[in-house]
Amino acid sequence: MPTYDYHCAANGRTLEVKHRMSEEVRTWGELCALAGVSLDATPADTPVAKQLAASMIASGASLGCDAGPPVMGGMGGCGMGGCGHAH
């Protein structure tokens, strides 16, 4: 299962949880239940926002590409030739 970071602007806390891609976490209560932590003073219906985690960003090197950054224009991804390598 993928790992996601969620931030609560009301209390300033960010929690990391694992859940299916098809699941949506919208509130502090749902997030705390998944993380196994207490709500503390934050109301359960307080909204949370999914954060873009560094682990969600793929670099050319992680894709086995060593020719630099992907070519601009939306054709990125080493597997599609976006890094300049012939595949």
- 1-44 per-position pLDDT tens digit: 899 999 999 999 999 999 999 999 999 999 999 999 999 999 99
- Under DSSP, the state recorded for 40 is T
Q: Are 57 and 68 within 8 A, CB to CB?
A: no
| 57: helix, strand or coil | coil
Between the alpha carbon of residue 49 and those of residues 27, 64, 74, 80, the distances in Å are 8, 32, 26, 32
pLDDT of 81 > 70? The answer is no
Q: What is the mean pLDDT of residues 60-84?
A: 51
- Count of CA atoms in the C-beta half-sphere (13 A) of 49: 7
CA pair distance 1, 9, nearest whole angstrom: 25
Domain boundaries of the chain, sorted by first residue = 3-80
